[in-house]
Structure 1
Amino acid sequence: MPRLEKTGKGTKRPKLDWRFVQRFCSIQKVLFPSWTSQSVLMFGTLLVVTLTEQLIIYQVGVLPSHFYNVLADKDSSGFRSLVGASMVLIILNSTLKSVDQYICNLMYVNWRKTLTESLHSAYFQGRVYYTLNVLREDIDNPDQRISQDAERLCKQMSSMASRLIVSPFTLSYYTYQCFHSTGWIGPASIFGYFLVGTVTNKILMGPIVSTLFEQEKLEGDFRFKHMQIRVNAESAAFFRAGKVEHMRTDRRLQALLWTQKSLINKELWLYIGVNTFDYLGGFLSYIIIAIPIFSGIYDGLTPGELSALISKNAFVCIYLINGFTQLIDLSTTLSDVAGYTHRIEELREVMDDILHKQCDYDPTSGQSYDFDSDFNVHGGPVDTAFVVEHLSYKSPYSDQLLVEDLSMKISQGTHLLVVGNTGTGKTSLLRILNRLWEADSGLVQMTTCFGPRGTLFLPQKPYLTDGTLREQVIYPLKDNYPASGSVDDDRIIRFLELAGVSSLLKRTGGLDEDVDWNWYDVLSPGEMQRLCFARLFYLQPQYAVLDEATSALTEDAEAQLYRTCKQLGMTLVSLGHRSSLEKYHDMQLRLCGGGRWELTKLKGAGWSSDHTEEDV
């Protein structure tokens, strides 16, 4: 993990230090993956445009000195020529500045695409997104870091790009011009001025980075609270909990606003430092110009020539100072960049840490098992779905074993019912079987593929994705598989009827009509469970693992759905409390708590278990 300083409260606060440089460089490797990447090409184009722009700016900057000459000599033809040249230079300059901004905007979009897709690639690899949101507490608001912080980082970097890319060239050129005009004292004074400004602003930026980091965390917490209310609005309304949620939401708002005020107070001193150095730069330029004048170097020039020379030298000195002050002005932007860099790279580091700690990772090869790779739509029949040998497991949040030394096989044609009181580890067993949690000891082997023709899980809480009715039914298959057609449409409609939700066709306007409402808001709990069964019928796995999948339905509806599963050839593994489920299963695994369990045969068949490996 990164080197971060701990506060008195035990939290870690990011700094504008070497670790920031390392993290920033790590992100740049993502944004500029190769010399032929689009970002490199745009960056090169921006360099050419900005250098050309600086050449034009120099010509525009020395125009006043030429005007002094022609006006002092009353040269009307020279004045007309100079006005024409000025108009051309001004048009070129404005055009180049516009192109400069246009390229920066394109870079922002391209950087955001590249960085966000890279974060998505790590986030959705294996079980990382599950572990990050459910099991890990050391990273706040991963959704905000991916969707918002990445966008803001790319926006801030694009706003800095043109000024940073051209700075080495302009500073070198104008340093030479300043030395030519004023001698060594000019550049030395300006470089010393910049050094003092840099050190001062570095000191002032230190507290801002950590406060910005904390502000973004509280922004995510505040947004999450509103999302929580939106998702659970009906449940909260049944409790008449408006006043309570109002109080708790305001509490998060107050914490956010307090941090924002603290950030504003700290930025005040930075703004004072930046603005002071901006205005002092103007006085410094005149002091530098005055030195050769008062020393008598230009005593032989006429007033017109002296005015022209002062104008040219003033432009050179002021532009060199302006080049440095622009870098100092970037202090505020740099503090923002540092804060977002720490948040994004911290997320990347935690995701990498999760991937390496998961049992899917092979440290010898450096490769990881793709958690989704065994989703197979063409898998053939397999006689056994799971092999469990001497399995012991517990919750990640507790040290107490839920089940100890469990051995069994889940085989084709033998339906298993898992029962037990709340908290004895029924759903936890499914998490172990599906590799969401790691076992404390023992072996769990999934011998079939995951997906159609293999094994599918129906979780306790129905999951409805965004999209059309067709996309709900075929989930988690990709939207373009299989291609819509009359045969597939007939299958989907038939399974919707078998699940008892054919009325959704009329409510949505058809299988492929986009809906403008949230499925969770419109469907009742029973309808959501029925729709998930329609999904199960469509995918037709060989093994179906059901976690309280009919808890919101009547026993008659439950009987119809279970019969359909069996008619479609599925072997069922069910979790539930209802005694009515027993008639659809052959074996029962009872979790008794304290690590104890009992495996018995239902329907009075003569079968028993002596806690050794058995075929279920």
Structure 2
Amino acid sequence: MDWHHQLLDSAIWLGKAFIISWLAVACLAALLGKFTDWGRQFLRVTWAWFSPARSLWPLAILSLLILMTLFSVRMEILFTFWNNGIYTAMQDFNAATFWSLLAVFCVLAAIHVTRALTNFYISQAFQIHWRVWLTETLMSRWLDKQAYYRSQHLPSRTDNPDQRIQQDVASFISTSLALFLGLISAVVSLFSFTLILWALSGTLTVFGVAIPRAMTFLVYVYVLIATVFAVKLGRPLIKLNFLNEKLNADFRYALIRLREYGENIAFFRGEAVEHRTLLKRFSSVIGNTWAIVFRSLKFQGFNLGVDQLAVVFPMVVQAPRFFSKQITLGDLMQTAQAFGQVQDSLSFFRTSYDEFASYRAVVNRLTGFLDTVDAADQLTMPQITHQGEDFAVESLNVNSPTGVTLTANLDLTLAPGAALLVRGPSGVGKTTLLRAIAGLWPYASGNIIYPAGQQSLFLPQKPYLPLGTLRSALYYPLAEPAQADDDAVRAILEQIQLGHLATQLDVENEWTNILSLGEQQRLAMGRVLLHRPQLVFLDEASSAMDEGLEHAMYSLLRKELPQVMLVSVGHRSSLAAFHSSELNLQGAGAWRLDSLS
């Protein structure tokens, strides 16, 4: 064999195969995107990443990966010819050809190793950049327009969104690339090695009927029958893998809740109940895992049997021609290798069915996540505008999820320095009213006018302390400035009677578990002093303090921020002294606004 011509032919082959591959990919993507659900799901999740309008780099790197895959197929073709030559040289006892072919092997092996390492690096880099983009995109969708909160009000919402962003994204990207490049390799190998097998095949007589090029036809019939049975055996794996992801996520979520509410559970001595709940969820995980194991035993057992039979099948068919000296030992070995490559290529879908089943489950979970975000974006909310200096509510109607009217046609206005106390019986909708005013409650309508600048803070009964340092908790929701004024921060800690924490400002810890609820509420008051907003909502934000501390904190707010507008929800009559008006919710939509000055 003239290896110089082989190298030239390889270059021409790569160019043609690359162009044909891209045309096939474009046509396949268009067809799948139009006629299949999972094709539309895939494009929905990732089309923006590959869109030339955003960047040409993803398509350029993908093109390089396709070229490297085709290069791998061509190397396999060259190795089959090398195998033919080396075995033929051994059969003919041709030492010179044998040693020259060993030199050729060294060159081919060096090229093959270099290609494999280069392909690995490019593939990993591509997956990392893709994962960064998709994770950031999903996180932005989850956080923008407060979908993470609004989705709670949907009749059916996504379970375990954290898992979908973290785990499913990584699985989606790695499996997408593996299946895509594997499909290209399989199709190109199929055509290439079919031509080789066609050239090596002879006539086979079966029951008196002569079948020309029998080996080529037999491999297609062999794999077609195997694929039909494999699909039937593997189909249930799609649902089982989807359930596996969901049940594991539910179990993990139950463990996380045990950690988050550890103190409450410990006070109630609720270990037995929690244990039963965890065991119930874990039992579901194990039951589904056993179902996957038994189904996989059938599926993989069948595939292994098919693969083992494929090792000897071509030799059995070609053996009569070899022993009658119609073909050489090299031809026989190349036939077996070509048969194996064609069989592997045709069996791509069969052998990848379990992986594809897991992949479909991941795609369904990601598109389900996007469905939830889209549905959350469509929820109706009161119209919020920012203008002037006053805070106003116009024709606000607030309902419960079941349609019960909580507040009807509410109108009120607060000027700078004014303070409103919201009161009423428990369950009448005081906190829900604040949620509606903040634009978080979907069962409300009307107009909310905030002061220009959007400078407002919401202080719930249980403050939120982010992960990180005490300083970051104090500055939340703003980022820490590059050069913080430590003296001002320490002064605020002294004012809210947390001066003993001044030395721990830059200590990272689980501050939610370290500080008492009363200390957390005072820290939230410190945020107000630090940010100096125009408007503050306090939803029983001092309930964990004694009356003396509550009086001190409200006095501090009125002294340090005389122009701030306050909207407070509280039950203590002592709060009236710090407010200029009172909104009394009376139930069934009724309300009364009274002056306290």
TM-score in same-fold range (> 0.5): yes
Aligned residues of 1:20 and 1:338 also touching (Cα < 8 A) = yes
Q: CA deviation at 1:559?
A: 1.6
> Residues 300-355 of structure 1: CA distance to partner in whole angstroms, max 9, x if unpaired?
75xxx621221222222222112223442111111110110011111112211221
Is it true that 1:21 corresponds to 2:39 in the alignment? yes
Distance between the aligned counterparts of 1:106 and 1:358, measured in 2? Answer: 42
Q: CA deviation at 1:409?
A: 2.0
Aligned residues of 1:50 and 1:96 also touching (Cα < 8 A) = no
Aligned residues of 1:386 and 1:409 also touching (Cα < 8 A) = yes
Q: Which amino acid in the other structure matches residue 547 of structure 1?
A: D
Q: Which amino acid in the other structure matches residue 436 of structure 2?
A: I
Distance 1:423 1:266, change over 3 A: same
Is it true that 1:383 corresponds to 2:383 in the alignment? no
Moved over 4 A (4+): 298-301
Q: How does 1:446-595 map to 2 (within 5 A)?
A: 446-449=449-452, 451=454, 454-479=455-480, 482-485=481-484, 488-506=485-503, 508=504, 510=505, 513-515=506-508, 517-567=509-559, 568-569=561-562, 570-595=564-589
Q: How high is the TM-score relative to the length of structure 2? A: 0.86
Distance between the aligned counterparts of 1:581 and 1:446, measured in 2? Answer: 25
Distance 1:571 1:394, change over 3 A: same
Q: CA deviation at 1:287?
A: 5.1
Is it true that 1:597 corresponds to 2:591 in the alignment? yes
Is it true that 1:192 corresponds to 2:195 in the alignment? no
Is it true that 1:62 corresponds to 2:81 in the alignment? yes
Provide the residue aligned with 2:261 in structure 1. Answer: 232
Distance 1:38 1:277, change over 3 A: farther
Q: CA deviation at 1:493?
A: 2.2
Provide the residue aligned with 2:340 in structure 1. Answer: 318
Q: CA deviation at 1:230?
A: 0.8
> Residues 208-247 of structure 1: CA distance to partner in whole angstroms, max 9, x if unpaired?
1122212211112111111111111111111122222112
Q: CA deviation at 1:52?
A: 2.1
Distance 1:354 1:329, change over 3 A: same
Provide the residue aligned with 1:339 in structure 2. Answer: 361
3-state SS of paired residue (2:397): strand
Distance between the aligned counterparts of 1:519 and 1:497, measured in 2? Answer: 18
Q: CA deviation at 1:83?
A: 1.9
**More displaced 10-residue stretch of structure 1: 520-529 or 46-55:** 46-55
The correspondence for 2:197, drawn from 178, 202, 208, is: 178
3-state SS of paired residue (2:145): coil
RMSD, aligned α-carbons: 2.5
**More displaced 10-residue stretch of structure 1: 186-195 or 534-543:** 186-195
Provide the residue aligned with 1:606 in structure 2. Answer: none
Q: How high is the TM-score relative to the length of structure 1? A: 0.83
Distance between the aligned counterparts of 1:503 and 1:219, measured in 2? Answer: 43
3-state SS of paired residue (1:125): helix
3-state SS of paired residue (2:468): coil
Runs of 5+ unmatched residues, structure 2:
1-34, 202-211
Aligned residues of 2:38 and 2:363 also touching (Cα < 8 A) = yes
Aligned residues of 1:104 and 1:159 also touching (Cα < 8 A) = no
Count of residue pairs the alignment pairs up: 550
3-state SS of paired residue (1:590): strand
Distance between the aligned counterparts of 2:524 and 2:324, measured in 1? Answer: 93
Aligned residues of 2:393 and 2:410 also touching (Cα < 8 A) = no
Aligned residues of 1:30 and 1:118 also touching (Cα < 8 A) = no
Distance 1:440 1:52, change over 3 A: closer
**More displaced 10-residue stretch of structure 1: 63-72 or 466-475:** 63-72
Aligned residues of 2:314 and 2:336 also touching (Cα < 8 A) = yes
3-state SS of paired residue (1:591): strand
Q: CA deviation at 1:62?
A: 3.0
Q: How does 1:81-480 map to 2 (within 5 A)?
A: 81-133=100-152, 135-182=154-201, 184-286=213-315, 289=318, 293=321, 301=326, 306-359=328-381, 382-389=388-395, 391-396=396-401, 398-441=402-445, 443-449=446-452, 451=454, 454-479=455-480
Distance between the aligned counterparts of 1:18 and 1:501, measured in 2? Answer: 61
Q: CA deviation at 1:105?
A: 2.4
Aligned residues of 1:278 and 1:325 also touching (Cα < 8 A) = no
Aligned residues of 1:212 and 1:336 also touching (Cα < 8 A) = yes
Q: Which amino acid in the other structure matches residue 293 of structure 2?
A: I
Aligned residues of 2:381 and 2:444 also touching (Cα < 8 A) = no
Distance between the aligned counterparts of 2:356 and 2:468, measured in 1? Answer: 40
> Residues 35-71 of structure 1: CA distance to partner in whole angstroms, max 9, x if unpaired?
8444323222222222222222222233332223322
3-state SS of paired residue (1:503): helix
Distance between the aligned counterparts of 1:64 and 1:455, measured in 2? Answer: 76
3-state SS of paired residue (1:386): strand
Q: CA deviation at 1:431?
A: 0.6
Distance between the aligned counterparts of 2:160 and 2:111, measured in 1? Answer: 46
Provide the residue aligned with 1:77 in structure 2. Answer: 96
Q: CA deviation at 1:148?
A: 1.5
Distance between the aligned counterparts of 1:152 and 1:300, measured in 2? Answer: 52
Q: CA deviation at 1:266?
A: 2.4
Distance 1:386 1:281, change over 3 A: farther
> Residues 387-439 of structure 1: CA distance to partner in whole angstroms, max 9, x if unpaired?
232x321222x332222232222332221100112111000000110110134
Aligned residues of 2:315 and 2:332 also touching (Cα < 8 A) = no
Distance between the aligned counterparts of 1:388 and 1:28, measured in 2? Answer: 42
3-state SS of paired residue (1:199): helix
Distance between the aligned counterparts of 2:120 and 2:233, measured in 1? Answer: 29
Aligned residues of 2:77 and 2:193 also touching (Cα < 8 A) = no
Percent sequence identity over matched residues?
28
3-state SS of paired residue (1:124): helix
Distance between the aligned counterparts of 1:68 and 1:203, measured in 2? Answer: 41
Distance between the aligned counterparts of 1:433 and 1:357, measured in 2? Answer: 15
Distance 1:197 1:24, change over 3 A: farther
Q: Which amino acid in the other structure matches residue 594 of structure 1?
A: A
> Residues 116-153 of structure 1: CA distance to partner in whole angstroms, max 9, x if unpaired?
12211211110211122454533211111111222222
**More displaced 10-residue stretch of structure 1: 20-29 or 133-142:** 133-142
Distance between the aligned counterparts of 1:314 and 1:218, measured in 2? Answer: 45
3-state SS of paired residue (1:126): helix
Distance between the aligned counterparts of 2:154 and 2:340, measured in 1? Answer: 57
Distance between the aligned counterparts of 1:21 and 1:280, measured in 2? Answer: 34
Distance 1:269 1:38, change over 3 A: farther
Distance 1:344 1:263, change over 3 A: same
Distance 1:299 1:276, change over 3 A: closer
Distance between the aligned counterparts of 2:131 and 2:522, measured in 1? Answer: 40
Distance between the aligned counterparts of 2:130 and 2:107, measured in 1? Answer: 34
